[in-house]
Amino acid sequence: MHASADASLMLVELGLIVVGLATLGRLAHRFGFSTVPLYLVAGLAFGTGGLAPIQFSHEFVRVGSEIGVLLLLFMLGLETSADTLARQVRSTLPAGLADLVLNFLPGFFTGLLLAWDLPAAALLGAVTWTSSSGIAAKILSETGRLGSPETPVVLAILVLEDLAMAVVLPIVSWGFAAGESSAGLLRLAVTLAVVLAALWAAFRAGGLLTRVVSHRADEVVLFTALGLVLLVSGVAQRLGVSAAVGAFLVGIALAGPVVRRAAGLLGPLRDLFAAMFFLFFGLQIDPSTLVPVLLPAAALCVASTLTKLATGWLGARAAGLDAAARWRAGAALVARGEFSIVLAGLGIAAGARPELGTLAAAYVLLTAIVGPILARR
Taking the domains of the chain in order of start, what are their residue ranges? Answer: 75-259+285-376
Least confident residue range of 2-6, 192-196, 292-296: 2-6
- Residue pLDDT, tens place only, 162-173: 767 666 665 665
Q: Which residues of 89-114 are buried (b: 16+ CB within 10 A; e: fewer)?
A: bebbeebbebbbebbbbbbbbbbbeb
Q: What is the pLDDT of residue 305?
A: 93
Q: Which fold has domain 75-259+285-376?
A: Na+/H+ antiporter like fold (1.20.1530)
Q: What is the pLDDT of residue 307?
A: 94
What's the rounded Cα separation, in Å, for the pair 247 and 262? 13
Q: What is the pLDDT of residue 7?
A: 74
What's the rounded Cα separation, in Å, for the pair 237 and 246? 8
Least confident residue range of 62-71, 172-181, 197-206, 263-272: 172-181
What's the rounded Cα separation, in Å, for the pair 15 and 21? 10
Q: What is the pLDDT of residue 42?
A: 83
Q: What is the pLDDT of residue 309?
A: 93
Question: Coil, strand or helix: which one is 211?
Answer: helix
Question: Coil, strand or helix: which one is 286?
Answer: coil
What's the rounded Cα separation, in Å, for the pair 299 and 366? 10
More confident residue, 134 or 191: 134
Of the ranges 25-29, 48-52, 173-177, which is most confident? 25-29
Find the DSSP H helices in 116-217: 118-129, 133-142, 151-176, 181-204, 206-213
**Residue 21 and residue 279 in contact, taking contact as beta carbons nearer than 8 Å:** yes
Q: Could you tell me which of 341, 339, 330, 342 has the C-alpha nearest to residue 305?
A: 330
**Residue 76 and residue 248 in contact, taking contact as beta carbons nearer than 8 Å:** yes
Q: What is the pLDDT of residue 351?
A: 65
The share of the chain scoring above pLDDT 90, in percent, equals 7
CB neighbourhood size of 51 (10 A): 9
Q: Could you tell me which of 36, 73, 243 has the C-alpha nearest to residue 158?
A: 73
Average pLDDT (338-353) is: 68
Burial class (CB in 10 A: 0-12, 13-18, 19+), 4: exposed
Q: What is the pLDDT of residue 223?
A: 93
Least confident residue range of 76-85, 209-218, 267-276, 293-302: 76-85
Is it the case that residue 186 has pLDDT exceeding 70? no
Is it the case that residue 350 has pLDDT exceeding 70? no
Q: What is the pLDDT of residue 179?
A: 46
Q: What is the pLDDT of residue 285?
A: 73
What's the rounded Cα separation, in Å, for the pair 80 and 214? 18
Q: What is the pLDDT of residue 187?
A: 61
What's the rounded Cα separation, in Å, for the pair 280 and 366? 16
Q: Please, which residues have CB within 8 angstroms of residue 256's CB and are 6 or more apart in sequence?
A: 210, 214
The share of the chain scoring above pLDDT 70, in percent, equals 78
Q: What is the pLDDT of residue 304?
A: 92
**Residue 367 and residue 304 in contact, taking contact as beta carbons nearer than 8 Å:** yes
Is it the case that residue 178 has pLDDT exceeding 80? no
Q: What is the pLDDT of residue 135?
A: 79
Is it the case that residue 100 has pLDDT exceeding 60? yes
Burial class (CB in 10 A: 0-12, 13-18, 19+), 342: middle
What's the rounded Cα separation, in Å, for the pair 15 and 22? 11
Q: What is the pLDDT of residue 173?
A: 57
